[in-house]
Structure 1
Amino acid sequence: MADNDAQHEQHTFESTDAGASTTYPMQCSALRKNGHVVIKGRPCKIVDMSTSKTGKHGHAKVHLVAIDIFTGKKLEDLSPSTHNMDVPNVSRREYQLLDVTDDGFLSLMLDDGSTKDDVKVPENEVGERINKMFIEEQKDTNVIILTAMGEECAIEAKEAPKSG
């Protein structure tokens, strides 16, 4: 029976979704402006922070002001400086844009030659730039995709370097 349990535990570990490591803990006092933090379950970029000393026996509190990296919404949090807060693992990857589908999705080339077709054209100036460069001007376009906590969005488009 013990062998069976060990196998089961190992299997569970292997099949753990990569989503398990979408964040890591960091002590509040170690957070920095322009760094990232999770507030109300959303990945944010810290735009302002201040520390306030409280009463004689109280803990210093850190007041965080941050912008949701996907929605642009401003969020605030107040936390004791000694507490841990979650920091999202944020990655930026650049992909070659192959096509924009009729329903508004980007078709992006992956390193292995396959395509990634699950990122929508954003409804902001980045989306406008993608449409202008790729559709109107027909330039080779690279799109930078920001990924955090299982969400993705295009944050930048630029002309692809000419090969050759």
Structure 2
Amino acid sequence: MSKIVEVGSLKTGSWITIDGEPCQIVEIAHSKPGKHGSAKARIVAIGLFDGVKRTIVSPTSDKIEVPIIEKRTGQVIAMLPSSIQLM
């Protein structure tokens, strides 16, 4: 599940999808528009599952996919070699 938002509306701490991987933004820098180009945003994000640092540069008017992340608390019942049981 995801939604589409403009790059210019993103902030540090937001979540985005880069290369199909959900990532949390740790740094975002906006550059002003120049004589022949639009404003751009440089985004540095860390992957949720693999912890890999990813960087993208995109015009602020572009659209980007934002995952809908649902956080819940639970209790670990058992840790098996191939799975984990939660309650």
- Does the TM-score normalized on the shorter chain lie above 0.5? yes
Partner of 1:106: 84
Report % sequence identity.
Answer: 33
- Distance in 1 of aligned mates of 2:51 and 2:31: 26
Matches within 5 A, 1:79-90: 79-90=58-69
1:105: Cα distance to partner? 2.0
1:27-51 CA distance string (max 9 Å, x none): 0000000111111211000000101
Q: Name which structure has the greater RCO, CA cutoff 8 Å, separation 6+.
A: 2
TM-score, normalization: structure 2?
A: 0.92
RMSD: 1.2
Quick check: which one's strand share is greater? 2
DSSP 3-state at the match of 1:29: helix
Partner of 1:49: 28
DSSP 3-state at the match of 2:75: strand
Q: Is there any run of 5+ residues in structure 1 with no aligned partner, and where?
A: 1-21, 110-164
How many equivalent pairs are there?
87
Q: Is there any run of 5+ residues in structure 2 with no aligned partner, and where?
A: none
1:104: Cα distance to partner? 4.5
DSSP 3-state at the match of 1:58: coil
TM-score, normalization: structure 1?
A: 0.51
